[in-house]
Structure 1
Amino acid sequence: MNAQQQLTPPAIDEVWPGQGGIYGGLRQYPEGLCHVIFAAKDVGRHAYGDYGVSTKAISRTDGRANTAILIARTGKHPAAIAAAAYTADSHADFYLPAIGELHHGWQYAPESFSEEWYYLSSSQRSAYFAFGMNFDDGYPGLSGKDLERRVRPVRRFLQ
């Protein structure tokens, strides 16, 4: 496969060979317009962590920034740790998506997610709750930071 073929995305909600998962389309980020890649599978059920403690992981749009904040709190955030540890197709830049990124997945690649359980985001709501997304109806809501929820890593790269 030549370089141009590697940079040509598949249809949204299809696996993008060599990019680590399922293509979620384009999304605007602080660094510019990026391709969004959702891992092809969940990495289990994990708690957000740090129940009762406020962090600065409050972005509703930038899970990479949130995950960096959470990972810096060494060992306290199992969901962020699991997402950041995920690798696929030699890509090791996955992170726990923000609530806006999960909603993007529900809008553009819903068939790639399970409707059986709630997905956790990296977006903290308070010292006791984090935002999450129910993929059977697209309902964003809150989850206790001590409860284990599905985790689906995501990565992005500039268009």
Structure 2
Amino acid sequence: MNAPAQLTPPAIGEIWPGQGGIYGGIRQYPEGLCHIIFAAEDVPGRHAYGEYGTSVEATSRTDGRANTAILIAREGKHPAAIAAAGYTAGGHSDFYLASIGELHHGWQFLPESFATDWYYGSSTQFSAYAAYIHGL
């Protein structure tokens, strides 16, 4: 039996060929340490968080994948999560709307990868009326 191929990540901030975007380093997730990949470009358009006035359980500050799954299950009521989950790049379609912690990680290690003329909304709900945002 052949051993699985070992992935060697590029330097943080560089495109990781075959992985769908920009390498952002390693982060702790419920399943353990994972490499994080940021899309090389923003999802086209401006998308609302959704369901203004409704509390949802998308409150993880660290796990955007879990938050996005909760938002997607709300049956079309969260356009930003739907747009992020529908994004594809480099043969990958496993993107999601980042948590506030993931956005902060990206800003800390990849600030040049973010637009400077707008705010990025996260998947982390702040209140029934807003999600956490990151102004870059």
TM-score (norm 1): 0.81
What's 1:8 paired with? 8
- The answer to whether 1:70 aligns with 2:71 is yes
Look up the SS of the partner of 2:27 in the other structure.
strand
**Counterpart mapping for 1:10-159 below 5 A:** 10-43=10-43, 44-135=45-136
RMSD, matched Cα: 0.7
Give deviations 1:103-128, integer Å, cap 9, x for gaps.
00000111111111100100001110
Separation in structure 2 between the aligned mates of residue 64 and residue 98 of structure 1, nearest angstrom: 8
Separation in structure 2 between the aligned mates of residue 24 and residue 132 of structure 1, nearest angstrom: 19
Task: Pick 1 or 2: higher relative contact order, CA cutoff 8 A, min separation 6.
Answer: 1
Unaligned runs of 5+ in 1: 136-159
Aligned amino acid, residue 128 of structure 1 = Y
- Per-residue deviation, 1:65: 0.4
Give deviations 1:58-94, integer Å, cap 9, x for gaps.
0110000000000000110000000000111111111
Aligned amino acid, residue 126 of structure 1 = S
Separation in structure 2 between the aligned mates of residue 18 and residue 70 of structure 1, nearest angstrom: 28
Separation in structure 1 between the aligned mates of residue 98 and residue 125 of structure 2, nearest angstrom: 11
Would you tell me which structure has more strand in proportion to its own residues? 1
TM-score (norm 2): 0.94
Aligned amino acid, residue 47 of structure 2 = H
Look up the SS of the partner of 2:47 in the other structure.
strand
Separation in structure 2 between the aligned mates of residue 125 and residue 68 of structure 1, nearest angstrom: 17
Separation in structure 2 between the aligned mates of residue 41 and residue 88 of structure 1, nearest angstrom: 9
Look up the SS of the partner of 1:86 in the other structure.
coil
Deviant stretches of 4+, over 6 Å: none
Q: Between Structure 1 and Structure 2, how many residues are aligned? A: 131
Separation in structure 1 between the aligned mates of residue 32 and residue 11 of structure 2, nearest angstrom: 21
